[in-house]
Amino acid sequence: MFKKKKLLLQIAPRNLVTRDNTHSIASEQYRTIRTNINFSMPDDELKTILITSAVSGEGKSTSAANIAVVFAQEGKKVLLVDGDMRRPTMHYTFRTTNSMGLSNLLTRQWNTDDVVDKTGVEGLDLITCGQIPPNPAELLGSKSMDLLIKEFKLKYDIIIFDAPPVLSVADAQILSNKCDGTILVINSGVTDKESAKKARDVLQTSNANIIGAVLNNFKLEKNHYYSQSYFTTS
């Protein structure tokens, strides 16, 4: 009985507030985040963005999905990639299958056109994780990953990667080095300062271009929260 309950919790879809409630305060905050991302590197082209967090449960995947949606709503051609090949969730968020995806591309089992899913949001495509591999870090650090990113850049205006937490595994460090910009999601009142600082330091060691941080679940006033509150530039 307990195992069944746990499974149901794991597959519950995340809230895509930017798609389902475009006039909400939370949606407006995501649009503000989009604007701040656009202004964060005015002189450089920012096409690949990595979104990660210090530890799990901080809302990075929800942030990645909603940020991808608002960029598509702006008229951009957007690709959202589930780069968390240890605990993938984007197929739950967009209610699709995960039979093939990024891992299958990196092992050259399929071509990109074979694994791209439509999300129901105009302008937004999705590549799920695919079959969970035994060696995620090696795949993400491979030449195949470099070639894929080049291919994605030719087809899309913005590519957003959802990566595992920085302090859990090396995957986010590896991917951040390959992306134009990195955003660190911090859960207000949950993420301790030392973990956030350590995550920042680890990313900087990997030569990541940290363009800012999203402060999640920031308390505005009593009994009222923004789903995503602020994007602060680094």
Q: Considering only CA atoms, which of 78, 42, 96 is closest in space to residue 153? A: 78
The DSSP symbol for 217 reads S
DSSP character at residue 14: P
Output the CA torsion 65→66→67→73 (10° steps): 110
117-137: pLDDT as tens digits: 999 999 999 999 999 999 999
Residue owning tokens 């005015």 = 42
Q: How far is CA 2 from CA 14, 87, 156, in A?
A: 22, 20, 43
Q: What is the pLDDT of residue 103?
A: 95
Write down the CATH number for the domain with range 36-233. 3.40.50.300
Tell me, letter by letter, the H, E, C secondary structure of 49-72. Answer: EEEEECCCCCCHHHHHHHHHHHHH
CA distance linking residue 68 with residue 58, whole number of Å: 17
- Mind listing the pLDDT tens digit for each residue in 29-68? 999 999 999 888 766 788 999 999 999 888 899 999 999 9
Cβ proximity of 164 and 119 under 8 Å: no
Instruction: Inform me whether the pLDDT recorded for 4 exceeds 50.
Output: no
What pLDDT was estimated at residue 118?
95
Q: Quote the pLDDT of residue 42.
A: 67
Q: Is this prediction's pTM over 0.95?
A: no
